[in-house]
Amino acid sequence: MKKFCNDPKNYVPDMLKGIALANQDKLKYIPDYNLIMRADIPQPNKVSIMQGSGSGHEPAHVMIVGKGMLDAACPGNVFAAPPPDYVYQTTKLIAGPMGVLHLLNNYTGDTMSFDTGRELAEAEGIEVRTVVINDDVAVKDSTYTVGRRGVAGNFFVIKAVGAASERGATLEELEKLGNRVVSVTRTFGVALTGCTPPAKGTPIFTLEEDEMEMGIGIHGEPGRKRVKIQPADKIIDEVFAIVADDLPYKAGDEVALMINGMGGTPISELYILYGHAHELAEKRGLKIKRHYVGEYCTSLEMAGFSLTLVKLDPELEDLLAAPAEAAIHIF
């Protein structure tokens, strides 16, 4: 295993320590619950928003806590949903008079932890609503009762509800908004390599030199099918069609287009992929109003990408364009 880390058991706390030290003015870190939260939360006129999920998806979610984004994140270990107690304690700590919005990616572990944590918080009179994100079209919804996974599309849900909450939206409005974003967001992922959870020390899966995996999730779960590696444009041809046909996105639709890196793919490759996706979107008559190329929701050092389309309306576009802050930044 080639990683910059100390004791693999401390992978998550060591990372959180780094985030906390870098942002002492804006963030609070509570090691007991892997909790990174805004220092200025709760606020009387704002719903507090949190997401859990496992670690290993950075910047999601601990590095996108900030004004206009998440108010708190309490990740579990790498690829493990947070323990129910983290969810409960975090909910209590961020709860203001307007309540708490739980965002979660649709995985059994996360759902279970958040259900339990919510029950405990509600028992103490905290109002909680939940938006379940399930943008991954790789999973065929009908086949399994677990439903679609939540993947990189969660960024758009967070960004939208984060912006709306700063403008004073109620818990109910945010729940509605979140679900509306989910309903217009679709994603599909591809991997060239597996990834190695630090505590496991070996790759979750391995691909031959000429193979790629279509339809991966963000936990290194193998995907829909394993095929021979293709030129970038060919891959995008297939992936774009799968995503665009799903909603479907139609000529005249205004969209946001995201090429998300899985952690080990350089941004040069992401732009190669973006270029052809942009061409296909235009060919289909979609109007690209916003674009996102970079790492938003990763699987450790996996080489791979996902493509996300979001259908925009003026309100949503405005929320996505609203100013926001996060630990990750360029300048």
Partner 1 sequence: MKKEVIMAKDIEFVVKQIADTVLKNEAYFSELDGVCGDGDFGYSLARGFEKVLAEWDNMDHSTPGNFLKKVAQVIMSAVGGVSGTIWGTMFLRVGVKLGNKTEITREDAIELLHVAIDAIKQRGSCDLGDKTYLDALIPTVDALEKAFAEGKDTAEALEIAAKVAAESAEATRSLVAKKGRAAYTGERSIGTLDAGSVAVAKIFEDLAIAWKEN
Ligand X SMILES: Nc1ncnc2c1ncn2[C@@H]1O[C@H](COP(=O)(O)OP(=O)(O)O)[C@@H](O)[C@H]1O
Name the site residues for its own copies (rule: CB under 8 A). Answer: 2-7, 11, 14-22, 55-56, 58-59, 63, 159, 192-193, 207, 209, 212, 229, 231-233, 235, 263-276, 278-279, 291, 293-295, 298, 300-301, 303, 305, 320-321, 323-324, 326, 328-331
Options 221, 238, 269, 325; binder of partner 1; rule CB under 8 A: 221
Phi, psi (rounded to 5 degrees) for 169: -60, 145
Residue type, 178: G
Q: Does 304 bind partner 1 (CB under 8 A)?
A: no
Which of 81, 214, 309, 319 touches ligand X by CB under 6 A?
A: 81
Distance CA 116, CA 121 (A): 9
Q: What is the DSSP string of 57-101?
A: STTTTGGGBSTTSBSEE---SBTSPPPHHHHHHHHHHH--TT-EE
Greatest C-alpha distance within the chain: 56
Q: Judge whether 70 and 48 are in contact, CB under 8 Å.
A: no
Of the candidates 172, 168, 191, which has an alpha carbon nearest to the alpha carbon of residue 180? 172
Partner interacting with residue 108 (select from its own copies, ligand X, Mg ion, none; CB below 5-8 Å by kind)? ligand X
The three-state secondary structure class of 82 is coil
The entry of its own copies, partner 1, ligand X, none near residue 48 (CB within 5 to 8 angstroms by kind) is none
- Is residue 104 at the binding interface for Mg ion, with CB under 5 A as the rule? no
Q: How far is CA 236 from CA 135, 154, 253, in A?
A: 18, 21, 20
* Per-residue mark of binding to partner 1, 145-164 (x: CB under 8 A): xx--x---------------
- Number of residues engaging ligand X in binding (CB under 6 A): 4
Q: Which is nearer to its own copies, 10 or 170 (CB)?
A: 10
Active-site residue flag, 219: yes
Q: Which positions are catalytic?
A: 57, 219
Q: Give the binding site for ligand X (CB under 6 A).
A: 80-81, 108-109
